Structure 1
Amino acid sequence: MTEPTPTAPASTVFYSEEYYRTLVERFGYSTFDLQRFDFALAGMKHDELNLRYLCHHRANQFIATAPHRRIVTTGFGMSGPPHMASTSQIMKMVRLQQGGERCQIVLGDLDAYNGRTRSYGYTRELAERFRTFATRLGFDTATGVLRDQTGHAEALTTMYLLGRYAEDADFDTAEEDNHAYYAARGLVDPTMTFRRRLSLALMAADFVSLGQTHDAVLVLLGIDEHKYVRFAQRVAERFDQHVPLCGDFILSAIYTRLTTGFNGHPKSSKSIPGSGITVETPTNEIRRLVRADQAKNPALSPVYQLMYQMSYTSYEDLLDIHQACTEGTPRWKTEKEHFIEFLAHVKELWP
């Protein structure tokens, strides 16, 4: 794999490069399937993209498409109030939108209702709160789409139509990489049950629906969710003359790194108490968690990872903070105190 030359020192290693290599080897990706960035996107140069994201899949084909014929999309399950890693995904969408990209955020109320067996009323309430939160973070609904899944007839119809081309094996191979971890804690069904299949199929339908009116769709997901894009691609590749759907649009993706969870958890999750800082975490607890991060390796620091995932500061500042963390200088301690204030402010935006 040939990577672009970063402006950071050659010894700088950001989280999850090993995970990236494992994905390539384990799932049969080539370096043309999952690539590092060597181009600019939404005003961000390739060095910044390689810090804030892990890799991309066909995003170079996305940016080669006319701006008015392409769209970026992401979604959130309504299983609980967002943690800061989820919040960072909204911030990324705001940054892409401000950089000139047309963007869509899907609030997965039906996804949580089926996939996480939350009550319908609870998911609907969360969807409305997420909607307010996203706009307070800067998402512009005048130029972008911010919708839930309930009542979106187009995606629901698309889900039914693509169901004819989905096979059992497609679902079985689409388990999220951390599925066993969630299942062991009773947070999700241990097998690919019917309700979980509905949840996955509707997510794929959200992607395919956009492909009916756009030539290129760019999905923003965590790297542990890479199988969802492959699922949608495999189903769309089977479309024939009998389906009233277009399957030859470009379905691409940009993947974020996994944000290491606090208290020894593999990643931040709103479903696992103590794994991350949420919008409902008391400020005193935020202060304790941030100060308790004594990692000298930024790749192992959940605080530093949140800093570059969120719209906390500039790319140039992040490189300086990376060095401060590595060397354990007073700058790192001071920066963590500033970050506590930043997180407390973000928390106040949650309705």
Structure 2
Amino acid sequence: MKADRYREAYALIKNSKNVLLATHESPDGDGISSMLALGLWAQDQNMRITLYSKDPLPHNLQFLPGAANIGSIIPEGHFDLLVGFDYGDFRRLGLDAWMKTQPLLKIISFDHHPQGRQFGNIVILDPAASSTAELLYNFFAVNNLPVGGRIATCLLAGVLTDTGGFQHSNVTPATYRAASQLTLAGVSIAAVADRLFIGRSFTALRGWGESLMRITVDPETGAAFSYVTAADTIRHGVSRKHLSELSSIISRMPDVRFGAFLSEDAEAPGYIRGSLRSERHTGVDVSQIAKHFEGGGHALASGFQTKGSLESVVSRLKQAAKHCY
């Protein structure tokens, strides 16, 4: 990514008077952390900003500095800039109707998803980056902006989320260099990782146990499946986001080519959400499988939402896998 793009983005942000920062629906640690990092800097500059997420934050992200400032309602009035983070498909920001009320709006996009439906006056897109947070680290570095403990905590959380604690194959030397520099702000990688990955409630762990007991492996495609029902989330007092990491766990089982974790969407009855994961050595691009359900994402991590039952979606996933191998 050329440094000039980061400088252009900085100039546009700095010269804007009312800025909306937004990340995708069903937010994750990378999108939220990237948005918060820029938001914290903008607040230190006394800029007028609004931090927006269509859906609530998962419980394990609520410790992040500035998280309490994220809302799901956009104030009325004119905005001159929208900055979108980690969304892959612009529709996932949930802002289509709002944008029609903002005729003079300019847009900056930060994303590490493959080229898809991102757009803007300035698009900073790098699928080779481990995370959108890594792109934000570059933004701060190129523009010589100060990174204190609060911003460093957010950026590290984003990197840790999308690299699975530096365990995924998307980690590069640049990722390690960024993380190393961020620790110089006095932030402990271990402490941030503990808050992201380890702090599980008793009820959440019971939900994990039930979903782990449901794992099945299809011998023909090498796909591993598990699921959570809407009734499970009510019974255990957890959301599907608490359990979606299981797709990464089951994708690492011996002889498994990809993992699929499915959940009934309590907010949209009759729909199923799917989280797909694979490891680089398997050669399976799960984004191609997700496209069969009008979803998308990365080669190693993708998702979708589709109408149907758990049983019918599993059957369709098996067929999609056969077409993609």
Q: What TM-score does the superposition give when structure 2 sets the normalisation length? A: 0.32
TM-score by length of 1: 0.30
The structure richer in helix per residue is: 1
Higher strand share: 2
Answer 1 or 2: higher relative contact order, Cα 8 Å, separation at least 6: 1
